[in-house]
Structure 1
Amino acid sequence: MDLNSARGIGRRRLVAWGGLAAAGAAAGLPLASAGTARAASPPTGPSRRGEIPPDTLPGGAYDRYVAKLAAEGKFSGRVLLSHRGRTVLSRSYGMADQQKGIRNQEGTAFTLSSAGKPFFAVAMLQLAQQGKLRLTDTVGTHLTGFAEDIADRVNIHHLLSGTSGLDAPDEDVERVFQSRDEVHEYYEQRARKAKLVGVPGTPNTAHAEPEVTISALIVEAVAGMPYWDYVQENIFDRCGMTGSGFYTRPQWLADGHLAHPYMKVADGSVVDALRNLDKGSPNPYVLGKNPGRAFIDAPGDGGFATAPDLARFAHALGDGTVLDRPWADVLTAPKIPHGPASFGAYGIPISIVNGQWMYQRAGGNPGVGANWSIYPYTGWVGVILTNRDSDGGSLVDIMGQEMKAITGAEPDPGSGG
């Protein structure tokens, strides 16, 4: 499920991500405000001078906030703050696998849901950088079997920017998948049933699922390998993300470094979703869903990552490891205006927060919450990973407190942040 937030971005372009030495709740819920946007002003506050804001330190306001949530049973997972490639704060709480007595720790990998969608955008731009595709290529340039209006009118830029005008049949959330091939076939056929319901190039607020799947299919057609393998080889391995991958359900059950999703069910209890595939979420935004039913994440979506690995990915975006710097600028340049200081980029919401850039991607499912944020002007990276539904302490609340600690921007009280 997409937990995108498009917060904002100003007229200032990021010249180089070398300064990095190195959202939302369920769809329809509001995000914390990005604060006052001052596009023409340089970042202010201690981190502007290379100092560390006190609220980000161990024992600081952000650390105390998350610890309190965990003590009240409202947070299970991991938070990390990194400044110019050095870890400032790193905490783990709760259980990765309660039945086996395995606690969340630094090396625990969490399923990302939509927080993994930017991988397909990076993959596309890698292939564009190599001259193997163009952003103006239509769907029909690389794939066959799609409706003529989609094949001829929807191009890669539309897919990456969320402006394709596509819609698809509802997902069968009750289906329990049994193999990688079954997952691939189902989502490919669902994408092929997509209909063009809007005008390509028209702004939208979030990615339609066919855009994600079709992008992954194009990666496969151009690269000549499954999407999951392409991302493993060309993103995870190149970034040194040794704890990350597209793991299958049997691996999820057997591997102690993979956090299980603890999902609230109709009677108010919380169950291990992976061991209770017959149960689904009563949350109206994800009604009936259970992330354990997927044998592997759909092409273009999800994946698992540890918090340090996501920090490595953030740093690698800025140092040329996965994209040459001009192509990294293409990834994050503003494409679609979503608000006074919020824009959509390629798979990543971007915004201005107290005069500095913030790139962010969130995702969630029952028992799952993930968010990573990059502040390239000041060299900060924040990661939040959670594996438990709870009353209070939502992902968006924690995101707002992280942003406040780094930038000084106050979350919008109306959002609950």
Structure 2
Amino acid sequence: MLRILLLPLWLLALAAPVRATVVLPDTPAGRAFDAWLQAFNAADRARLETLQQAFATPEPVDDTLGYREFTGGFTLLAVESSQPHRLVVRAQERDGQMAPVRLVATVAGDPDGRLLGVAPEGLDIGRLDEAAAVAGLAQRARELAEADRFSGAWLVARDGRILGQAAHGLADRRAKTANTLDTRFRFGSAGKMFTAVAVLQLVEAGTLSLDGTVDDYLQGYPNRDVARVTLRQLLTHTGGTGGIDIFGPEFAANRRALRTHADYLEHHGARGVAFAPGTKVDYSNYGYVLLGAILENASGKDYYTLLEEKVFAPAGMTRTGAEPESARVEGRALAYRREGDAWVDAADTLPWRGMAAGGGYTTVGDLLKFAQALADGKLLSPEMFRQATTPQMAENWYGFGFITVGEGPLRRFGHGGDADGMNADFRVFPESGWVLVSLSHFDPPAAYRLTRWFEPRMPLERAPAPTAD
């Protein structure tokens, strides 16, 4: 199975297959992998669909094509091991200086030699010192901006010190308005962190309970199965509401009418759960819309006022908000989506207003302030903060509103966000002290390219303190 978590991740010009001088073995695994690699490198949707239907765990072709666009395809470096029904190769992503990967292909033992999956594994590329890592990131950002593949801002800090930050590109391509470090970029699903913090604040205040249900706080909710879902399950995407797709085919026709959390509930409230709550994980935007409505009902304030008072103001996040797209917001970049070879205005794809599932705007500096406010206990108690940034389900990648993965100095929490014309990535490494922020008003993976370049290269050990003479 080929599955890369970009969360949900969750993309570049086609390139002809190149395999350098590496010759794949004439085995069932070698032949099947060769067919898959050619289809992958050529972004051949039809061929990938045919090949991946046979996977032991079928992989959505859109996910595969997203990974293809993210990597730019693969150039083979070496065959590491070869057996009739299993092949291990080392490959290099074509899209710019990323770590090499190991690809493991397995095929069935039947006469057809069906490809059962292709699994990628990251390989170490060696870590740099602080100065070299930050300088390399700055150079990478400039290269991507010059190639018109990144427009936005980035920031890297360690132990509270900003080590590097810069803005690139034009906030408004027609008016030639440059992006700056104060430019506001849409953050997509990264807004789930703010929603979760507000919910957990009310839990700590005794107003809400993690084990309270939708029906406890939205009495008379139409679908009785959803009414029994708990706040804990909504926060961790285990409530079964992932099948209620608020950005599905109906969204384009209704996006101007969907203006409040109540509007979303009225439109989707009759829909049920996809599985028994608590038994599976399925990422759910609608689950966070429900949390937004619960916050409003429990606090007596609208969602936006509550976040401003309880999250943004205490953290000093003065350039973060979620005014409607129709409002003139000083410094908010236009959103641009890729259409053929051009970047075009993505305004007609955006929600009327960001909401509890995400979609507001922020700056790289404000997200650093958010990280600092969490660490300083300005938003949550230390124990609640610990729970929020600790995996809360068996799949081990999500806490309460925060993606949380890795171990030791690579343990991190944060969130990404991506949609047409917006891409955000926020990563905090508590043990090694790093905070990485990348924001773009281009389609994904514009912002991810920077954090993904930096993370495998950043030093994990701190430089020794200078000694006294």
TM-score calculated relative to the size of structure 2: 0.69
Cα deviations by residue, 1:356-408 (Å, 9 ceiling, x for unpaired): 31113111111211010000112211100011248xx7443322112123257
Q: Distance in 2 between matches of 1:232 and 1:34?
A: 41
User: Which amino acid in structure 2 is aligned with residue 193 of structure 1?
Assistant: A
Alpha carbons of structure 1 residues 389 and 333: separation in structure 2 relative to 1, 3 Å: closer
Aligned to 1:366: 420
Looking at both structures, which has the greater relative contact order when contacts are Cα pairs under 8 Å and sequence separation is at least 6?
1
Q: Distance in 1 between matches of 2:196 and 2:5?
A: 15
* 2:458 aligned to which of 394, 406, 414: 406
Q: Distance in 1 between matches of 2:249 and 2:235?
A: 21
Matched, 1:261 2:335: yes
* 2:132 aligned to which of 55, 62, 68: 55
TM superposition shift of 1:124: 0.8
* 1:198 aligned to which of 275, 291, 313: 275
* 2:310 aligned to which of 216, 234, 252: 234
Cα deviations by residue, 1:23-47 (Å, 9 ceiling, x for unpaired): 643883458989689xxxxxx978x
**Partner secondary structure for residue 295 of structure 1:** coil
Matched, 1:324 2:381: yes
The residue correspondences of 1:278-289 to structure 2 (distance < 5 A) are none
TM superposition shift of 1:4: 6.8
**Partner secondary structure for residue 394 of structure 2:** strand
**Partner secondary structure for residue 371 of structure 1:** strand
Give the number of aligned pairs: 351
Identity of aligned residues (%): 25
* 2:184 aligned to which of 99, 103, 109: 109
Cα RMSD over matched residues? 2.8
Matched, 1:175 2:253: yes
Q: Which has the larger radius of gyration?
A: 2
User: Which amino acid in structure 2 is aligned with residue 396 of structure 1?
Assistant: Y
Q: Distance in 2 between matches of 1:323 and 1:408?
A: 27
Aligned to 1:285: none
TM superposition shift of 1:190: 3.3
Alpha carbons of structure 1 residues 86 and 34: separation in structure 2 relative to 1, 3 Å: farther
**Partner secondary structure for residue 406 of structure 1:** coil
* 2:141 aligned to which of 45, 66, 81: 66
TM superposition shift of 1:225: 0.8
Matched, 1:380 2:434: yes
Contact 1:35–1:354 (CA under 8 A) maintained in structure 2: no
Aligned to 2:465: none
Contact 1:183–1:295 (CA under 8 A) maintained in structure 2: no
**Partner secondary structure for residue 411 of structure 2:** strand
User: Which amino acid in structure 2 is aligned with residue 186 of structure 1?
Assistant: D
Contact 2:409–2:431 (CA under 8 A) maintained in structure 1: no
Q: Distance in 2 between matches of 1:258 and 1:34?
A: 38
User: Which amino acid in structure 2 is aligned with residue 154 of structure 1?
Assistant: V
Aligned to 2:324: 248
TM superposition shift of 1:295: 2.1
Q: Distance in 2 between matches of 1:87 and 1:368?
A: 24
Q: Distance in 2 between matches of 1:34 and 1:122?
A: 33
Contact 2:150–2:447 (CA under 8 A) maintained in structure 1: no
Contact 1:34–1:352 (CA under 8 A) maintained in structure 2: no
Q: Distance in 1 between matches of 2:387 and 2:123?
A: 25
Q: Distance in 1 between matches of 2:414 and 2:151?
A: 21
Matched, 1:357 2:385: no
**Partner secondary structure for residue 92 of structure 1:** strand
Q: Distance in 1 between matches of 2:233 and 2:268?
A: 15
* 1:334 aligned to which of 354, 366, 391: 391
Aligned to 2:345: 272
Matched, 1:309 2:366: yes
TM-score calculated relative to the size of structure 1: 0.77
Q: Distance in 1 between matches of 2:326 and 2:286?
A: 27
**Partner secondary structure for residue 271 of structure 1:** strand
Aligned to 1:188: 265
Q: Distance in 2 between matches of 1:171 and 1:4?
A: 24
TM superposition shift of 1:300: 3.5
User: Which amino acid in structure 2 is aligned with residue 263 of structure 1?
Assistant: R
Cα deviations by residue, 1:107-132 (Å, 9 ceiling, x for unpaired): 10101111111111111100001111
